[in-house]
Homo-oligomer: A and B are copies of this chain.
């Protein structure tokens, strides 16, 4: 189903740290603080954050941007060797993008109770009716990922 190599908990912790830094950058810019990185063969090939407000692009979620960058880097839309690491459980669009890109592994931080599509409302990563399934590791540094979002929305009120 995937040829993604074994990734240690320490590695996932470290990569989530990069995604958290991206999420913080988004918050500084007034964007909902969500960040994502894509890793291929141990190399971080893209780091992005939510840019929806600045760009006015409905698809400018961190995951979509990071996966598009990773595809440009790889020269193909097929990212079966890629691991996507994101601070919030992906929404239907972003989970669908991970599926469309045939990613090998998705690692997410905080659960997305409102729109999560990798375990909460849907699980697009593990539907045998679809032509691709992939690994999911949930809850990596969840408290830190969640705190960024809670603080952002608390300050806005």
Binding site for B on A (CB under 8 A): 52-53, 55-61, 64, 67-68, 71-72, 74-79, 91-97, 99-102, 114-115, 117, 121-122, 124, 127, 129-131
Contact = CB atoms under 8 A, between A and B. Distances in A.
Copies of this protein in the assembly total 2
A123 B92 CA distance: 11
A77 B58 contact: yes
B58 A92 contact: no
Contacts of A130: 92, 114-115, 121
A96 B93 CA distance: 4
Contacts of A97: 58-59, 93, 96
Contacts of A102: 58
A130 B92 CA distance: 10
